[in-house]
Amino acid sequence: MLGIIGGTGLTKLPGLSITHRQVIRTPYGEPSGPATFGELDGHPVVFLARHGYGHTIPPHLVNYRANIWALHAQKVSHVVSVATVGGIHPELAPGKLCVPDQIIDYTHARESTFAEYNGKPVTHQDFTWPYCVDMRERCLRALRAAGEDFIDGGVYAAVQGPRLETKAEIDRLARDGADMVGMTGMPEAYLAREIGLCYAAVTVSVNWAAGRGDSAEAISAQTIESTLAGAMARVRQVLTRLACMDYR
């Protein structure tokens, strides 16, 4: 079954005919909210709002372990994460969708692994290509089917937040090779890898990163708001295409 993690601007899925909601207890505490089970265009999906249904949980306080564990416990096999970003690459203007293929993790002090001291030998999980190839391919197909003009591939810089970046920080991220910047990509992607979920992200550029484009002087909350509304309507079309695929 397909799991959808909705980020900013996607706390609800209007096209989803809800069958039930389920509070899932996990060894890692509470997920961001109950999992919402339902059908998109007649196909079953589980939806979880990363920041809670009232959008009250900031990026650094999201219980990523509980969210990923909860989806895994519901027999979810594939997960698409929808995440907003600031565009650093000149092609990632506000409104542009992207399926990143790489990550640089600048976050800190987040619970970032399921591996704990348990007396078993230590293992190290491969993360060379952080997103699941199969799920990335499905996202690309869904975007094409929805008629989207999107970018295939890019480096996602995961930052701690909740504050936005300085211009110098964005210049540094650009020098590091980052194409976009967001606050929630990690440790979510890694936890999915550890637990064996096939996970990929569709990112939505909602503003130029600090110091770029019309964010040269400041990032306008108004620009973000107006970009979000239109872009998420398009993302919902993409999610419906994803839901139609076979996940057995």
Identify which range of 15-23, 25-33, 71-79, 83-91 contacts ligand HPA by CB under 6 A. 83-91
Residue 182 binds ligand HPA (CB under 6 A): yes
The only residue of 10, 80, 85, 135 in contact with ligand HPA, by rule CB under 6 A: 85
Q: Pick between residue 76 and residue 98 the one whose CB is nearest to ligand HPA.
A: 98
Three-state SS for 155?
Answer: strand
Q: Are 31 and 63 in contact (CB under 8 A)?
A: yes
Shortest reach from residue 220's CB to ligand HPA, in Å: 11
CB neighbours of residue 167 within 10 Å = 14
Measured in degrees and rounded to the nearest 5, phi and psi for residue 225 equal -55, -50
70-73 long-range contacts, Cβ below 8 Å, gap at least 24? 70/24, 70/26, 70/31, 70/35, 71/3, 71/5, 71/35, 71/46, 71/197, 72/195, 72/196, 72/197, 73/24, 73/26
Pairing of strands 155-158, 198-208: unpaired
Among 11, 36, 84, 203, binds ligand HPA (CB under 6 A): 84
Residue whose C-beta lies closest to ligand HPA? 86
* Per CB under 6 A, 104 contacts ligand HPA: no
Q: Does 209 bind ligand HPA (CB under 6 A)?
A: yes
Piece of the chain touching ligand HPA by CB under 6 A; list 17-25, 39-47, 106-114, 179-187:
179-187
Binding range to ligand HPA, per CB under 6 A, among 16-24, 84-92, 125-133, 228-236: 84-92
Q: For 82, phi and psi rounded to 5 degrees?
A: -105, 125
Shortest separation between residue 92's beta carbon and ligand HPA, angstroms: 11
Q: How far is the CB of 235 from ligand HPA (least distance, A)?
A: 14
Interface with ligand HPA, residue 203, by CB under 6 A: no
How far separated are the first and last CA of the chain, in Å rounded?
Answer: 7
Residues forming the site for ligand HPA (CB under 6 A)? 84-86, 159, 164-165, 181-183, 206-207, 209, 219
